[in-house]
Amino acid sequence: MIIKLYENFTDIVEMKDIIFLKAVETYNIEIIEFFIKKGYNVDDYDSFIASCDDIDTFKFFLKKGIDVNEYKTDHKFQRKLYDADIQRALIDFGYENIIEDTVGFNDRLKADPKYADIIQKFRDVEKYNL
């Protein structure tokens, strides 16, 4: 019976991709970690976009070194960039330039002292043409 579930998949890589994407969509970091330990490449567009829906999964991807610069011109990613939590995570991992270059900083971050200084630095650079 189990074989019937997989008979349409001739390539095991396709099956791994489906399982991995489902793990990301359900925010199951244990399964994502399992795939990483087995050498699976997590730097995949669909997985990255899906990870933006859960801040812990998104941070996990950032910790694993996903190439955020590769996706900065993507419209789906730019829509997700408006989210204050996504912006906080990106700033924490040193990607504030991506925010500034694409959608700009969320106004909610200006009220948070941790992020207000970073935003002010960008404003000062613009103001004084540094």
For 62-130, the DSSP string reads HHTT--GGGGTT-HHHHHHHTSHHHHHHHHHTT-HHHHHHHT---GGGGGSHHHHHHHHHHHHHHHHT-
Decide which of 125 and 92 is more confident: 92
Cβ(92)–Cβ(98) below 8 Å: no
What long-range pairs does 14-21 form, CB within 8 A, spacing at least 24?
A: 16/40, 17/44, 20/44, 20/47, 21/46, 21/47, 21/50
Task: Tell me: pLDDT of 1 over 70.
Answer: no
In this structure, the dihedral spanned by the alpha carbons of residues 69, 74, 75 and 76, taken in order and rounded to 10 degrees, is -80
pLDDT band at 3 (very low <50, low <70, confident <90, very high): very low
| Entry pTM | 0.82
Question: What CA–CA distance (Å, rounded) separates 25 from 11?
Answer: 22
pLDDT in the model for residue 18:
85
Question: What CA–CA distance (Å, rounded) separates 86 from 99?
Answer: 10
